[in-house]
């Protein structure tokens, strides 16, 4: 198979995957995640039910497609990035924003669907807790303390609060809305002050 044929095949797979994800998110917003069946998702995505199951063996995976990847990138950035801890968090957020910009329509649908469904919110919370653990561990390593100490835990919780605010701003934003950027600037300044205070209290 030529490189061109391989590229065409991969693009077709990506389009199919996107169609399935979009269908599932739209149906979740319309009737709830539990009520959205695989046959319904397949019909809206214009694929066979078997195709949906081949791409996503478990229905939750459709909504949380590659959801672990950002957390893995966060862990890598925190352990091996440039600058101090807040610089590394900022770099990770910028990287995430660039990835989201590649298909912001799907990401807005995803966040809206999660926000409206209790079961999806629970799964999302588990992912956020995993991110919180990694942030607390990175803070502890920088301060020379334990990850379960008050300082690292408070810093990690504050970071998640800022990320939640950014997510809300992103979902609500128009094409040229500067709200998310303004919230990020304020959030990073807050984290820098918090990290400095933790260092001083040593």
Nearest alpha carbon to residue 70 among 62, 59, 78: 78
Backbone angles phi and psi of 175, in degrees to 5:
-55, -35
pLDDT at 51 over 80: yes
**Domains contained in the chain, CATH given:** 3-64 (1.10.10.60), 69-201 (1.10.357.10)
pLDDT confidence tier of residue 177, bands split at 50, 70 and 90: low
* Residue scoring higher pLDDT (172 or 14): 14
Tell me the average pLDDT across 75-98.
Answer: 89
Angle at 62 between CA 58 and CA 67, to 5 degrees: 100
For tokens 């992912």, name the residue: 127
Q: Where are the beta strands (DSSP E) in 8-146?
A: none
- Other beta carbons within 10 Å of 105: 10
* pLDDT per position as a tens digit, 147-166: 899 999 999 999 999 998 88
Nearest alpha carbon to residue 86 among 186, 167, 201, 200: 186
pTM of the full predicted structure? 0.82
Quote the CA–CA distance of 22 and 106 in Å, as a whole number: 6
Nearest alpha carbon to residue 130 among 183, 182, 184, 75: 75
- Other beta carbons within 10 Å of 171: 17
Structure tokens at 188: 């990073």
DSSP 124-159: HHHHHHHHHHHHHHHHHHHHTS-TTSHHHHHHHHHH
């Amino acid at each position: 198979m030529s490189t061109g044929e391989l590229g065409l095949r991969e693009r077709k797979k990506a389009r199919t995957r996107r169609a399935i994800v979009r269908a599932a998110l739209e149906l979740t917003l319309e009737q709830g995640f539990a009520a959205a069946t695989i046959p319904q998702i397949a019909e809206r995505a214009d694929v066979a039910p078997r195709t949906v199951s081949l791409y996503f063996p478990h229905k939750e995976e459709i909504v949380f497609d590659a959801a672990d990847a950002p957390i893995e990138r966060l862990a890598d950035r925190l352990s091996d990035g440039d600058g101090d801890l807040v610089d590394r968090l900022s770099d990770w957020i910028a990287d995430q924003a660039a990835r989201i910009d590649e298909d912001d329509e799907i990401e807005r649908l995803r966040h809206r669907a999660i926000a409206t469904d209790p079961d999806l919110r629970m799964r999302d919370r588990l992912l956020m807790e995993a991110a919180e653990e990694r942030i607390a561990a990175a803070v502890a390593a920088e301060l020379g303390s334990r990850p379960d100490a008050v300082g690292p835990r408070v810093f990690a919780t504050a970071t998640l609060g800022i990320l939640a605010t950014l997510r809300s701003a992103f979902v609500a934003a128009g094409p040229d809305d500067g709200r998310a950027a303004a919230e990020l600037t304020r959030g990073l300044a807050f984290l820098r002050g918090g990290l400095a205070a933790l260092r001083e209290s040593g």
